Each structure stands twice: as structure tokens, then as C-alpha cells.
A and B are shown apart, each in its own frame.
Chain A
Amino acid sequence: MWQAFVRTLRCEGRAQARPAALRVLAVCLFASLACFLLCAQAVVHSGIDGAQSARLGFLDFLAAVLAGEGDYDPSLGERRAVPVGWLCVGVCMLLVTLPDPLHDPRHMQPLTMVLSGSRVGWWLASCAWVALCCLTAFIGIVAVCIAWGACWGAAVPSGGASAGLRLWEKTPELLGFDASAAAPALSGRGMGWRDVLAWLSCSWLALTSVCLVQRALVAMLPAPVAFSLTLAMLSAPLFVFHPWLVGSHAMLARSTFVINNGFSPSCALGVTLAHVAAAMCLGAAMTLRRDVVGQRR
């Protein structure tokens, strides 16, 4: 089984590296666009109230891409800012991992599965490839944010302090989540490098788990249906505030570091790992049980 796993992953790397890299590049472009919009808005603001714009930090750039939306309460009658940047990145992540001819039952699955020699090894390689693509895309996003921060001249934090990691009080307007809610939580605990790393890891895991769910669904359903279902799952937290909705854990605006009633990293870890396990078991069961009969495109 492990031999099948290693061989399939090797085959995947050789066959898919280039198209996957192009799709990752598209994700980075979207992230870059979100950062650009943040800068543009900050410039507009600085035209209104002078020095404020200089206070954009690295975290602001991460938030521009990965903030999502805080706890939106329609009864307050606030204008809703749909987190377009976050949604775009989510959709891109799903699209990065969606096409995989080697594991597509309607494409090369029969050939690669038979040659690999093990159904379980073949399936695990598919999951590992999804995780690897997600990791690459996520690292790309973070790198883009850091690069934009550096170009903007965001302050570099010294001695583990959270100096460069604070959120600018004006950003909520730009990012689509509530300033007054974010500020106390941040000023109370601060958000050091470790907190950011913890949150980023959970965020990557959350996105990976959604992509794995999509991969498991592709084993049973046509790709567009699988994509739509997973997209609904990813964006469900925009409508309901609940820790079990895995998309929440990919939103900085719902982290305990940013809002008082936010979700902790341990909660995020639990929920995302549960999703990862469920997706992998479901996919493994389908792969082991199902007959591979031709359903050619």
C-alpha cells in the first residue's frame, strides 16, 4: 500500500506539477489584488485623515485576504460588507484542487488505479496531493501578503511584540468586520507571531479539509456538483455563526484573537481534523467499495 502511495504521488507530481503551479499562481494574483485594494483604500483614507494610513501592519494585509466576516447581526441594521476577497480565495483554493485527471473516475482513474496496485494507497496519494496543493497555495497567499506589507513599509515587530501585527482601527471598514469588536480583543491579548502562526495553521487546515471533502465528493458525483456542494459548505458561515461550520476557521475575523466571542485554535483544530478524517474515510470507503465502470466524458 505504501509503495502504491509513493508511486502514485510521484506520478501525480510529474503529471500535475505544471498545471497546479499555474492555478496556484492565479490564487496569488487574487490575494495580490485584495492587498492592492487595501492599499488603495488606505491611501484614500489618508487623504481624509492624514497620518492614519501609515499605520497599516502586516496583519492588515493578511486580513485583507483571509479576514472573512465577523459575527454579522442583521438586526442591527448595519450595511453588510460581503467578504469578496475571502470568497474569491476560497473559490480559487477549491479550483486548485478540483481538476485531477489521474484520480478522476471519468478520466484516467482506471489506468492509474490498476497500475498503482492498491486502492487505499491510490486514495491516500490523492489526499496527500490535495493537501500539498493547498499548502503551496496557502504559502503563496501568505508570501504575497508579506511582500505587500514590506512594500508598504509595514513596521517590523521587535522582540516578539505584536507591534507590526496589530490591525489598523480603520481597516474594519475596509475588510468587512467590526472595528470596535476587534480592537479590545487585540489590545487585551495582542497577537504575537505565535498566535499568527497558530491561526494560519488552522486556517490552512480548514481550507485543506474543505478541499478534501470536495475530493471525496468527486469520487461519487460529477465535478461541478461536488464543487457547488463544497462551495456551499465553505460559505455557510457567512449566514450562520457556529463553530461546526468549518469555513469559520479560515476566517481571521472569527478567531478568538480578534473578537471576544471568536473560536479558539483548539476548537478550530478539532473541527477541521474531524472534517479531514470524515472526508478521508468517506473517500476510502467509496474507493474500496465501488466498481470502476467507464463513465467517459
Chain B
Amino acid sequence: MVVVDEVFKTIRSVPVLDGVSAEFPSGAVSVLTGPNGSGKTMLLRVIAGLVRPTSGSVEVDGRKLHRDAPFPESIGILLEGPAFIGSLSGRDNLRALADLREGVSDAQIDDLIARVGLAGFGRRRYRTYSLGMRQRLGIAAAVMGAPSLILLDEPTNALDDEGVVMAKGVMRAVCDAGATVIVATHDADVVQDVADVRWRMAQGRISHVTGEEGRRHE
């Protein structure tokens, strides 16, 4: 559960987040929509602890960011596209990132690679990956180790149809396992199929999308 309370963020006297208050429940996929430059990515950065709000607070599972801890304790992120080491294989990249947290086994990494549709490519250098394959590895890194908070920024970018189905499946699965999933996306398909809660952003402000439009289509 993530509670964002009256968050303002001003960069070079431009208000990028303008009093954002929202709740993102656990065990649900919350989707952020809105035009380019409306502040979706910035809000995700604030929730991740990467950007300090000018004022206001963010609480993750009852712990206030920057007061109780600098970052959410158990988190996975895919912000602004994937970034990995080109000279290492996809698998070695995940292996190295797994060192940053306890309890991710090699077998789990292999499972994960298969789950995002990279089976057979895990041992190839990341440099040789196509854009869509990179995105798949980014999704794998974000959900690795079953974190309780997962932030995904445009997760379906560059994915083919089958990739989009995979991404939606992964989002559904991690949230069914109890994680808080927050997704910024333009993909109408994702909004349609996996959004449990919808928020719309415009010019640094956020509003809850309710009613028929906001309800999940079963």
C-alpha cells in the first residue's frame, strides 16, 4: 500500500508535481494515464525515493520515505526504459542485480527469463538484444525477487503483441501474489485488461477515475 500525501515537486521553479494525493492499494494494479509531460514518471520517481518531494510525504507499507528509510524496503522498478550492462548476458545482468538483495536463486532467475519470453537468449550479451528484448529483461529485473512494490513506467514500450500479453500476465501474477503494482502507461490494452484502479494525471495534478470508465472490465 502506497499513500502519497499532498506531494509538490518544483524543478527550476517549474511545478512538476502540483499537490498530488493518491492511494495505491496492495494486491491491485494501479494504472496512471495522462498526456506526455503530465508528471507520471516523476511521480514514480518520488515513490521510488529517487526524487525528494519539495513538500508532502510518501508512505510505503506504513513507513515514511526519507524519514524512516531512504527507499522502499522491497521494491522493483522499470523507469524510463531498461538499462543494463551491454557486455554481460541478460542472465548475468540479473544475477548481478540479484546480489543487491537476498534470496534470489539461479533457478529463479532462469524461470524468470523464461517467463518474460527470453528463454534461449539468457546467455546472449545484452548488447545484442533488440529493443523489445531489452524491455522484457527490464520487466524481469523489476519483478525479480517478488518485491512488495513494483513500479513500471511504460512497460509495454517496444513489445510485440505476444510481449504485451506476457507483460499483462506478469503484472496480474505479481499483484495476485499481494504486491502493490503501479503502472504508468498509454497502452489502452493494458488499461483495459489489468487496471484495478485508475488515476489520470494532467499538468502535475492527479485525479481518480471512477465509475463505469474506471471499473475493471472482467
Contacts and interface: CB of A to CB of B under 8 A. Distances in A.
B100 A112 contact: yes
B50 A112 contact: no
A117 B99 contact: no
A118 interface: yes
A107 interface: yes
B34 interface: no
B75 A115 contact: yes
A108 B99 contact: no
B46 to A, nearest CB: 9
A114 B77 contact: yes
Given A15-B93, A110-B50, A294-B41, A117 B85 contact: no
Interface residues of A, number: 27
A264 to B, nearest CB: 42
Contact of B50 (A8, A15, A114, A116): A114
Most buried by A among B42, B45, B73: B45
A123 B132 CA distance: 32
B71 interface: yes
Contacts of A117: 69-71, 73
Contacts of A7: 99-101
Nearest to B153: A294
A94 B169 CA distance: 46
Given A15-B96, A110-B48, A294-B79, A115 B85 contact: no
Contacts of A114: 48-50, 71-72, 75, 77
A134 B157 CA distance: 40
A14 B99 contact: yes
Contacts of B55: none
Most chain A CB inside 10 Å of its own CB: which residue of B45, B50, B80, B84: B50
A111 B145 CA distance: 14
A110 B212 CA distance: 37
A291 B141 contact: no
A11 B50 contact: no
B95 A14 contact: yes
Given A8-B100, A11-B99, A15-B93, A110 B70 contact: no
B52 interface: yes
Which of A101, A113, A115 has its CB near the most chain B CB atoms (within 10 A)? A115
B88 A111 contact: no
B92 interface: yes
Contacts of A107: 83
A296 interface: yes
B97 interface: yes
Contacts of A10: 99
B207 interface: no
A178 to B, nearest CB: 45
A19 interface: yes
B105 interface: no
A119 interface: yes
B36 to A, nearest CB: 14
Contacts of A294: 41, 79-80
Contact of A115 (B79, B80, B92, B101): B101
B173 interface: no
Contacts of A48: none
A293 B75 contact: no
B79 A110 contact: yes
A113 B79 CA distance: 13
A108 B70 CA distance: 18
B59 to A, nearest CB: 17
Nearest to A7: B100
Interface string A78-111: 0000000000000000000000011000011011
Contacts of B72: 114
A19 B87 contact: yes
Interface string A279-297: 0000000000001111010
Interface in B1-49: 11, 41-42, 45, 48-49
Contact of A111 (B11, B70, B141): B141
Given A101-B85, A110-B77, A293 B51 contact: yes
A111 B101 CA distance: 12
15 contacts: A7-B99, A8-B100, A11-B97, A101-B85, A110-B79, A110-B80, A110-B83, A112-B100, A114-B72, A115-B101, A118-B70, A293-B11, A293-B50, A294-B41, A296-B81
A-B interface, 10 closest residue pairs, ranked by CB to CB distance from nearest: A15-B96, A115-B100, A292-B50, A11-B99, A294-B80, A291-B51, A14-B96, A10-B99, A108-B83, A11-B96
